[in-house]
Structure formats: C-alpha cells, structure tokens
Structure 1
Amino acid sequence: MTSSPTDLPAPARIAIMGAGAVGCYYGGMLARAGHSVVLIGRPAHVQAVQRDGLRLQTQSFDERIRLEASCDAAAVAGAQLVLMSVKSTDTEAAAEQLRPHLAPDALIVTLQNGVDNARRLRAALPGQAVAAAVVYVAVEMAGPGHVRHHGRGELLLEPAPASAAAADLLNRSGVPTQISADAEAALWTKLVINCAYNALSAIARQPYGPLVQQAGVAQVMDDVVGECLAVARAENVVLSEPKIREAVHGLARSMPAQYSSTAQDLMRGRGTEIDHLNGHIVRRGAAHGIPTPANRVLHTLVHLVQHQPSHD
C-alpha cells in the first residue's frame, strides 16, 4: 500500500542527497535509530562508509553505524523522506539528478544554508512536497566516513505535507525537531549570523572565539548585520534587531572553537556557498536599491581566496 503524503512508515526509507558533515550527522542518527538510510555523496566518502560503516563521533558516543552509501542519485528510489544537504550552488543540478527517481509522495527537507533553497526546489520539482529546515548543529568531516559532532543538532521545520510525521520520526531518532510557521524568519536569522561570521572566519582561517577578539572585527560584523537587516525589511521579513545582534555576539561565546563552513570549504580546497550568503544580501540589496558595501567586500574577498592559484 502506498503511503499518503502525510504519513511516514516506521522504519522509514530515508535518503541523504549530498552527504557531507551535516547530512551524515542526521543520516547517522536516523540509521542508529533503526531506519533504512542511504547516503549519496562523494566517492572517497562513499567507499569508506561501504567498507567500514559511518563513524559518528559525538559528545556522548563514538560508534560505527552500518548504512547504505552510493554515488548515484538513483539510490533515492523508494525513499519516503529525502534530506537535501548539497551546497546551495548545486540545488538545481541535484534536483535534476533526483527527479526521475523520486517517489511522488516523498517529502524533501532542505538542510541547506541560505534562504531560497526550498523555493528553488519547488520550482525545479513541481508537485513535490518540500519543506525548509533551519539547522542548528556544529559538525565537521574528520576524514572519509568520519563525522565529528561538536554541539547542538536541533531542527526547525516549516509546515508541509508530512512535516508532522517527519518531525515525529526525527524526534524519536534523537534529533530535537519542531515545526514552526516562523521558519522563514529563522532562516533569515541564520543567514544574518552566517553573513557576519562565515567570510571572516574563512579569510582569517580562525574559529569564532579568537576571531571576534581581533581589532575591528566586531565593528565589521555590526556593519554586515545592519545591511542584512535593511535587506530583510525590504523583503518583508520581520526580524528583531536586538535579538539578531545578541544572537550574533552570542555565537562566539557558545561555539568558540568552531570554524565556519566557508572556512572548512576553503581549507579543504572546495567551493563555498558565499554566493548564497553575503552574495545573496548583495543581490537582493541591489534589487531594492540598498547599499551593502560590507557584504560586498566580504563576498569579493572570499571569491579572491577561493580562486587563487595553488603554489604547491
């Protein structure tokens, strides 16, 4: 019998598209809880998982979890829940790869950075149920097939068909998940925080704690946040400026040893999502006639670092 879009069987078949640190953490937690999980990712990572299982190293356990892994998007076939965790730059390409293999009643939950991935997925996959999730987790790939968890892990999910069932499944798997009609504001709040930290952490190659102690950094962050809030207002997104600024300043206190995802990408020689962070603010600011010089400089500098030739 085919499940309706508002139901998810237990155990469920779940696919992680773009299984990097974030996707592997949630995939590992779901597999650990007994669900049938397939990770779709890069060859070196997939081979390590196929050979040894996924090593999930958290603050409370360090285990090797057996689950499926593949480099082929066709592995999504039969999944009732698809967690999308590819880079925001790859959203449309990933949707194109998935389209022939998706079950019509599958729910796609985007775990990606940025604020427009759910909209882009709905445009690329008409009729498919899509929900944006706001991700609060500090994780890194410590090597092929090895995820290291540094803290948090909760999700905020926007309402959609099967959102309630997905939230229940995630909660039962040790992933605190809430459904919120204010998911868009939460996505924007995370975007503002990412704009304040990601580029600076990447350019300086410093974690958040030492970074904010450097001369001038707090002032640059304040400039970035002010521009982001102006753009958010123009986009009719209601944010509390005092709460945003407190969240920005509080991040370095709560995650002093964390490097931004942009810093991790640059240190691994990979492309970044900066176009969907500070770059998004620059583009939307231009559309509304709002100057965004601080975001523009950070966006440009990350591109310069990202594309500089190797001297090895």
Structure 2
Amino acid sequence: MKIGIAGAGAVGCYFGGKLYEAGHEVTFLARGEHLKAMSQQGLSIQEENRDFSVDGFFTNDVTALADVELVLFCVKSSDTKEMAEQLQAVLDEKALVMTMQNGVENEEILIDVFGAERILSAVTYIQASVDEPGKIRQQGRVKLVIGELDPSTDIKSGVVSLLQEADVDTVPSGNILAKKWNKLMWNATFNPLSALSGARVGEILDDDQLRQTAETICREVIDVAIHKGLPVDAEATISQIFSRAEIARQHRTSMLQDRLRGKRMEVEAMCGYITKQGALYGLNTPAMQSIYSALNFVNQQQGRAPQLKT
C-alpha cells in the first residue's frame, strides 16, 4: 500500500517506519533539520530490543502524497486545518485519513475538510522521541486503538490488519472518541505540568507539590469530561491515570520535548480546550488556567525565551 506520513515527527516516523519495514511504500512529509538528516542518511529507529533503518521517501512537498491510499495525520494540532486543506487539494477522493494526534478537537476539523466517511481516529500509546534529527527512540509498550468517526462505515478493519501485520499491537474500537478522551485526561494531567516544570513523569509523581498539582489538574479535567456527558467515575479514573503514570516514569512528555527543543507546544489542545470547555459549563479550572497562561507566554516567545537544559 502507498502510505503518507503527514507530520513526520517521533510518532509519525515510528509508525511509518514499521509500515515501511513491513513492505509498504511510505512517503514522509517533514521539515527542517529532521528532513535534511533523513534525506541524507535515512531514518534510524531505536526500539528497546533492536535498531532498524528506513530508506523511504522524505520530502516537504505535500503533492508527493497525491497518490497515497492512507495518510497517517500526525501534525501538531495548531497545524491541523492548514495541513488538511493542503492535503484535500491533492489527495485522491478515496484516500483515507487517520489522525494520530493528541486532543479531541482535530476530528471535527478533519470531518469538515474530508467528510466523516474517510476519517479514522487512533489513540496512540507510545513513548517516542526525536533524539536528534533523523533518529527516533522508542521505549516501553506500543499500542494503537482505532475507530471510525462515521458509524455507518467499516473502514477500520483493513487499517487494523495493516498495522497488526507490521507488528504493531492494534485493536479496533466502536467508541473511539471516548478512548480519545481517556487519553486526553492523562495527557492534560501530566503534559502541561511537565513542560512548565521540566520534570519527567516519575519526578512529578515523587515530588509532593507537583503530585498534588497534578491531582488537582486531573480533577478539573475529569469535571469537564463529566459535564460533557462522558460516563466517568472520578476516583476510579484518577487511580487509573496515576497507575499508568507509574509505567511511564522515565518519560519526557511530548510538550516537554517540544519545549526543550524550542518548538511551539500544543498548549491549546492540552490546556486551552479544557479551560474553555470548563468556562462553557461554568466550571472553575484554576490550576489548568494558571499553567495555560504560563505556557502561552512561553509559546509566544517563539524561541526567544531561555530554553530548558536537557
């Protein structure tokens, strides 16, 4: 199958690399030093038990994806609309688009551009990072949960099989948006706080003040989810979120990785959405609002603010 990776960062490169290794024709859409390194030396992926190399096609030209049958949509949430519109202008009308992004708002944008019948959504459970341009490191368990946004279609089965055959633990879901919310609750609890503090997940768990702040944020996010009609048991969900965090102690969250590299963080998808949805329901989210304000300031500096040290 011809597959395009729109947004070849850590997540896009890892799954694109697995599909390439399984024999598929993969085009990676990237930019900057990462693109330069891959174009010159190929893509190197380090898993826990092995390394492998990828010699796919690396480009910054969206038209190179014109004949792909499946797009893994992995750009930052702030770039969703622009990238979707660029792809819509070149993709075949039968090509499928699967968002692998954080947050729960991207699906609505993609539906507006492509139509629900062509859209899949995936919840990605992965610890991956760009260690240096052209080099990806993956740690821990990898799992994908995939579902359609149009319940009248059955387009997920083929993609699930495709990824399973590429040695990726992949399962279907009949309620993918609920699964996305479950991941958002974890991400919103740890991502913004880690980006602001510079702490890994385990350091947040071990520091009394950071852990208390994380628990406060978690309760605010759960409160928003409950008011949106999700069937959430608050105490059970908090327990699950922090149990999952224990498994990811050494993980630098995606927002922390972005800040360390001086890149814009997904502040709106992680923080802004929660604070704005909370306001719609008359809910106070003071912990998240404070972090949202601070990280917005960092984002607005666009590289002028001092970067954290690795």
Give the TM bin, normalised by the shorter chain.
Answer: over 0.9
Counterpart in the other structure of 2:244: 251
Residue among 142, 150, 158 paired with 2:131: 142
Which letter does structure 1 place at the counterpart of 2:268? D
Note if 1:239 corresponds to 2:240.
no
Counterpart in the other structure of 2:99: 110
Which letter does structure 2 place at the counterpart of 1:121? L
Deviation track 1:76-101 (CA, whole Å, cap 9, x = no partner) reads: 11111100000001100101111111
Shift of 1:158: 1.2
Note if 1:178 corresponds to 2:164.
no
- Work out the percentage of aligned pairs sharing the same amino acid: 31
| 2: CA distance, partners of 1:37 / 1:46 | 15
Q: 1:39-54 alignment to 2 at 5 Å?
A: 39-54=28-43
Number of aligned positions between the proteins: 301
| 1: CA distance, partners of 2:58 / 2:32 | 9
| 1: CA distance, partners of 2:62 / 2:45 | 23
| 2: CA distance, partners of 1:128 / 1:78 | 19
Contact map agreement 1:77 1:102 (CA 8 A) in 2: yes
| 2: CA distance, partners of 1:54 / 1:282 | 38
Q: 1:119-130 alignment to 2 at 5 Å?
A: 119-126=108-115, 129-130=118-119
Q: 1:1-312 alignment to 2 at 5 Å?
A: 12-126=1-115, 129-159=118-148, 160-308=153-301, 309-310=304-305
Contact map agreement 2:204 2:211 (CA 8 A) in 1: no
Shift of 1:306: 3.0
Deviation track 1:37-62 (CA, whole Å, cap 9, x = no partner) reads: 01001132222222221101101211
Which letter does structure 2 place at the counterpart of 1:122? I
Contact map agreement 1:16 1:84 (CA 8 A) in 2: yes
Contact map agreement 1:140 1:149 (CA 8 A) in 2: yes
Deviation track 1:250-295 (CA, whole Å, cap 9, x = no partner) reads: 2331111111111111110010111111211101111111111111
| 2: CA distance, partners of 1:68 / 1:62 | 19
Give the root-mean-square deviation of aligned CA atoms: 1.6
Which letter does structure 2 place at the counterpart of 1:107? L
**TM-score normalized by structure 2?**
0.93
Contact map agreement 2:298 2:305 (CA 8 A) in 1: no
Deviation track 1:169-226 (CA, whole Å, cap 9, x = no partner) reads: 0000011111111221211111111111011111111111122211222221222121
**TM-score normalized by structure 1?**
0.92
Which letter does structure 2 place at the counterpart of 1:277? M
**Aligned with 1:277: secondary structure?**
helix
